[in-house]
Amino acid sequence: MRILVAGGAGFIGATLCEKLLLQGHIVVCVDSLHTGREQAVDRLRAFKGFSFFQQDIAKIPCFDAAMPLDQIYNLASPASPLWYQKDPIRTIETNVIGTRNLLDLALRHGASLLLASTSEVYGDPEQKPQREDYWGNVNTTGPRACYDEGKRCAEALVSAYRSQHQIDTRIARIFNTYGPGMRCDDGRVVSNFITRILGGQAIDIYGDGRQTRCFCYVDDMVEGLIALMDSDCSTPVNLGSDHEISITELAHIIGRMLNHSVVINHCPALTDDPRERQPDLEKCRRVLDWQATTSLEAGLQKTVASFEQMRQEDARQIQSYD
C-alpha cells in the first residue's frame, strides 16, 4: 500500500514508518521538523520505498502526494507538555488546521485516515479507568488546553468528515508511550528521568509524586496503531498499557537500572496535571485483538540502554573535536 505518515520524523512516527516499510509498503513521511529529528529521517532513507518531505501540515497549500494514497496516519503534533506549551498557537493550528488539511487530502485520494489523538482528551479524569465513552474533565483555558482541546477538536473534525463525506476514519487515543528514539530534551517523564539520573542530577517531581501513569513500549504502540488502521472501527479506541505506576516509583526503578542513586527535588504541582491516568482497554482487546506485551521492566531496559549509547556517542564526538 501507499501510506502517508504525517509527523513521521517524530518518536512514534519514525518507529511506525520503519514498521510499515519492513512490511513492504511505500511510505511518504511528512514532517515540519518542529519536534521531529532529521536523524530519524536519515535512518529511514535506506529503505527503497521511503520518501521525505519537510512540510508543516497546517500551512496552506498543504502537501499533496504525486501518487495515489491508500492510508494516512496523522501523528503530527508536539506531544509533551514542554513542547506543546512552548508555542500553544502552533499546537492548536497543527491539530485543527493540520488535521483538516489531511482530511481534505484523504477525501481527494479516497484514503483511510487515522488520527493519533491522546489520553489528554480526558483531562484530569474523574473516572478510573478511563473508558472511551467518558467525556472528560478538561480545563478549556488552562496551560494544557492548546493540546487537550486541539485534540478534542481534531476528533470532532474526523467524526464530521466521516459523517458528511463518508471518509474511512480511525481515532486512536494514545496513552503514555516510551522507548528508544525519544529525544533527551522532549520533556517526557521517562526521557527526563533517564537523562538527569545519567548526568548525576536531581530529578524534579511536581507535586507529591504519587500521581500515576501507565507506560506503553513504542513497538507495542505501533502494532496497536496498525491494528486499528486495519480494522473497521470508526469510534475512538484507547491504546496503551493499563499497568499503573506512581511517578516516584518510576524514578526509583530507572535509578536501579542505571545503578545510580536517585535524588528527588519536589516542586509545586503543575496546573491541571492529572492525578491518575489509566486506560480501560476492554475495547481494543475485543475489537482489535491487541494488547501491549512488553513489560515495563523490559521496555525500560531497552530504553535505558539506548540513552546510554547516545551518551557514549556524544562523548566520542566531543573527544574527536578536542
The CA-atom distances, in angstroms, between 52 and each of 16, 71, 155, 169 are 14, 16, 26, 24
Element (H, E) at 59: none
**Can you tell me the distance from the alpha carbon of 291 to that of 312, in angstroms, rounded to the nearest whole number?**
34
Residue 244's CB is within 10 A of a number of other CB atoms, namely 16
237-239 and 203-206: which strand pairing?
unpaired
Residue 60's CB is within 10 A of a number of other CB atoms, namely 8
Q: Where do the DSSP E strands lie in 119-210?
A: 169-174, 177-178, 203-206
Judge contact between 241 and 278, C-beta under 8 A: no
Catalytically annotated residue among 73, 84, 122, 147:
147
Q: Name residue 170's beta-bridge partners.
A: 114
Judge contact between 169 and 115, C-beta under 8 A: yes
**Can you tell me the distance from the alpha carbon of 197 to that of 232, in angstroms, rounded to the nearest whole number?**
44
Residue 273: phi, psi to the nearest 5?
-70, 120
C-alpha cell at 148: 487537550
**Can you tell me the distance from the alpha carbon of 129 to that of 279, in angstroms, rounded to the nearest whole number?**
5
Catalytic residue status for 321? no
Judge contact between 50 and 73, C-beta under 8 A: no
Q: Name residue 55's beta-bridge partners.
A: none
**Can you tell me the distance from the alpha carbon of 37 to that of 11, in angstroms, rounded to the nearest whole number?**
9
List the catalytic residues: 147
